[in-house]
Amino acid sequence: MQEPFNILLSSAGRRVALLRIFQGTLREMGLGGQVFAADMSPLSSAYHLADGAFPVPRCTHHDFIPTVLELCRKHDIRLIVPTIDTELPAYANHRDEFTEAGVMVAISSPEVIALSGDKVLTHDWLVQSGLPTIRQKNASQVLSDSMGWSFPCIVKPRAGSSSLGVAFVADTEELRAKMTHDDDIVQSIAPGVEFTIDCFVDSKGRCLCTVPRKRLETRAGEVSKGLTVRSEALQELAAKVCHALPGAFGTLCVQIFRDDATQEMNIIEINPRFGGGYPLSHEAGAHFTRWLIEIALGLPSSAEENAWRDGLVMLRYDDAVFVDAESAGL
């Protein structure tokens, strides 16, 4: 009899759709496991909709990894799915400890996490790898000498996510006003429309599936309306990124702007985790959750490159979870 396959969704937060997808995948595969949630705050919607939930220290705290390891041993967790950028370094740097405990972490190598979490390192790697990207420069350097730099442009933190601290600036005066740190960077404005390409990479580093999602609308840095778009050029470029990365694994998102008039493409960011808009790719037929579980169980992969629906639209809406104050930690 197959032992239950338990999963931990780390820093679960508002990732209710991803939680439910994993729950549904376990049922479809007949594994009879549970999907647990871990979060530093019980004021998390996914925390209360999971099959079980655990409070954990902040991901940068020295007790974070020991706490999660103990949870894995106690609750027979076989797969951990990190969901936020700030926790990725901790999981990547301690991946071997989880492997020794019989737990697979859906995480790329420490090298991939380091370069993707730093926009300077990302840009330098893209340029060195011969991959198309936008112009980028340290914001303080542009303030000191703006010769050769074009406005308007974008200013953003060197390390950041969810569009926090991102602003359009028209000139050096506005740049000075909107900078938040000395190491902020400025980027040229990429022409065209933004796509997020969901990529699935197996344990041998092979990119098995790519799904471009056109961003139709965003809220707080996360897509709220999206459209799947089959594009050989976008898919090939995203796969090329994954294959060039030193140790990509699991789910990654590659953000690319494409100018339909010129077909010019520019890579903006690489996020080595499930993207907020992944539910659209899953509903279209790209079942990354199942493929991760197959890897963890040593099963033959059912992954297919283009077995997903083109032209599927996702329209997100607000919902709510109601719990008593005590269970919410109040």
| pLDDT range class, residue 239, cuts 50, 70, 90 | very high
Phi and psi at 140, nearest 5°, equal -65, -35
The average confidence (pLDDT) of the chain is 94
Q: What is the CATH T-level fold of the domain 6-106, as seen in this structure?
A: Rossmann fold (3.40.50)
- Please confirm whether the linkage preceding 55 is cis (ω < 30° from 0): no
Do 135-187 and 190-315 show the same overall fold?
no
The helix/strand/coil state of 76 is coil
Query: Cα dist. 53→2, 19, 50 in Å?
Result: 24, 12, 6
Enumerate the domain spans of the chain.
6-106, 135-187, 190-315
> CB-hemisphere CA count at 13 Å for 195?
29
Average pLDDT value for residue range 323-329: 88
Contact 138, 177 (CB under 8 A): no
Q: What is the pLDDT of residues 198-234, one digit of tens each?
A: 999 999 999 999 999 999 998 877 889 999 999 999 9
Check pLDDT > 70 for residue 162.
no
Q: pLDDT > 70: what percent of the chain?
A: 98
Check pLDDT > 60 for residue 1.
no
The CATH class of the 190-315 domain is alpha beta
Q: What is the pLDDT of residues 110-125, one digit of tens each?
A: 999 999 999 999 999 9
Residues 6+ apart with CB under 8 A from 316: 223, 224, 225
Phi and psi at 79, nearest 5°, equal -140, 130
Phi and psi at 40, nearest 5°, equal -75, -15
Average pLDDT value for residue range 163-178: 87
Which CATH superfamily hosts domain 135-187? ATP-grasp fold, A domain (3.30.1490.20)
Query: Do β-strands 77-81 and 6-10 pair in parallel, antiparallel, or remain unpaired?
Result: parallel
In this structure, the number of other CB atoms found within 10 A of the CB of residue 231 comes to 19
